[in-house]
């Protein structure tokens, strides 16, 4: 009887291990860490916003903002600015973890590599959207384009296209983190793979900036963006273990 009571007391006094955090909680933890780190210094964010604004202002002097031809390449110009400015943010995604062996510490933790990748992708996604939110009013002001006429659909295209850029850029940021010339290699790897998504985003954005709603013939581009996001997000999640852990 005493033995049974002793065993019961031992079971009660034994510390209960805390449940492991879910994948979503781990993703939010990594995203929050990266966002706090970036907002503390604002190095990449300020550089990207300044770059996009300067490029838009310079191109406004090179082209006549009132020209009808501007409507034909407005979407292309906007997405080129987004993609070039975005690489300044994406390049720092994993490189900031190289100091003091922080990346090794993250990889040694019980957290799966997929949570690390998705968390950093989410943080990069927020930063890229902030760049676009600042750039759109500047674009409308200097190019005399009423970009808010088809705002709900334009927002959907921006969300889909930005995620495509984010997931590809974050994946190759992890791939090139240990290279000395990662600032050069990242754009060389990202832009060729981004061609289908950029084509779709540029085409749709040009149509919407002209004040024309999306028609049935344009839905193929929406489907391409959705398929691109799904396929490359899935591939990145499955391959990130090999990229980071070898």
pLDDT digits (tens, 9 = 90+) for 160-180: 999 999 999 999 999 888 777
The answer as to whether 14 is a domain residue is no
Mean pLDDT, the chain, rounded, equals: 85
The answer as to whether 29 is a domain residue is yes
The answer as to whether 12 is a domain residue is no
Instruction: Give the number of other Cβ atoms within 10 Å of residue 37's Cβ.
Output: 14
How far apart, in whole angstroms, are the C-alpha atoms of residue 169 and residue 9? 55
The answer as to whether 2 is a domain residue is no
SS3 163: helix
What is the predicted pLDDT for the residue at 66? 63
Average pLDDT over residues 175-191: 84
The answer as to whether 105 is a domain residue is yes
Nearest of 94, 108, 80, 114 to residue 194 by alpha carbon: 80
233: domain range?
Answer: 23-245
Assign 124 a pLDDT band (cuts: 50, 70, 90). Answer: very high
Helix or strand holding residue 211 (H, E) = none
The answer as to whether 191 is a domain residue is yes
DSSP 178: T
The number of folded domains in the chain is 1
Is a pLDDT exceeding 90 seen at residue 185?
no
Is a pLDDT exceeding 80 seen at residue 35?
yes
What is the predicted pLDDT for the residue at 1? 42
Tens of pLDDT, residues 48-79: 999 999 999 988 888 776 666 777 788 899 99
Instruction: Give the number of other Cβ atoms within 10 Å of residue 63's Cβ.
Output: 15
The answer as to whether 152 is a domain residue is yes
Question: pTM value?
Answer: 0.88
The CA–CA distances, whole Å, from 66 to 69, 71, 81, 84 equal 9, 9, 20, 25
Tens of pLDDT, residues 211-242: 888 888 889 999 999 999 999 999 999 999 88
The answer as to whether 149 is a domain residue is yes
């Amino acid at each position: 009887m005493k033995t049974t009571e002793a065993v019961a007391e031992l079971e009660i006094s034994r510390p209960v291990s805390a449940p492991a955090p879910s994948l979503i909680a781990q993703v939010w933890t990594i995203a929050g860490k990266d966002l706090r780190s970036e907002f503390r210094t604002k190095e990449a964010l300020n550089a990207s916003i300044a770059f996009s604004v300067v490029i838009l202002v310079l191109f406004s002097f090179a082209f006549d903002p009132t020209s009808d031809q501007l409507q034909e390449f407005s979407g292309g110009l906007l997405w080129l600015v987004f993609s070039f400015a975005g690489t300044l943010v994406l390049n720092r995604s994993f490189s900031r973890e190289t100091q003091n062996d922080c990346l090794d510490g993250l990889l040694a933790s019980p957290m799966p590599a997929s949570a690390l990748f998705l968390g950093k992708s989410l943080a990069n996604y927020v930063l890229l959207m902030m760049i676009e939110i600042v750039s759109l009013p500047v674009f409308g002001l200097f190019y005399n384009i009423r970009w808010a006429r088809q705002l709900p659909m334009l927002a959907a295209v921006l969300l889909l296209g930005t995620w495509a850029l984010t997931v590809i850029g974050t994946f190759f940021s992890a791939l090139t983190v240990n290279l000395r010339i990662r600032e050069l290699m990242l754009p060389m790897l990202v832009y060729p793979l981004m061609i289908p998504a950029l084509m779709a985003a540029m085409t749709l954005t040009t149509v919407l900036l002209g004040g024309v709603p999306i028609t049935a013939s344009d839905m193929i581009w929406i489907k391409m963006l959705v398929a691109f996001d799904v396929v490359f997000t899935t591939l990145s999640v499955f391959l990130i273990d090999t990229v980071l852990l070898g």
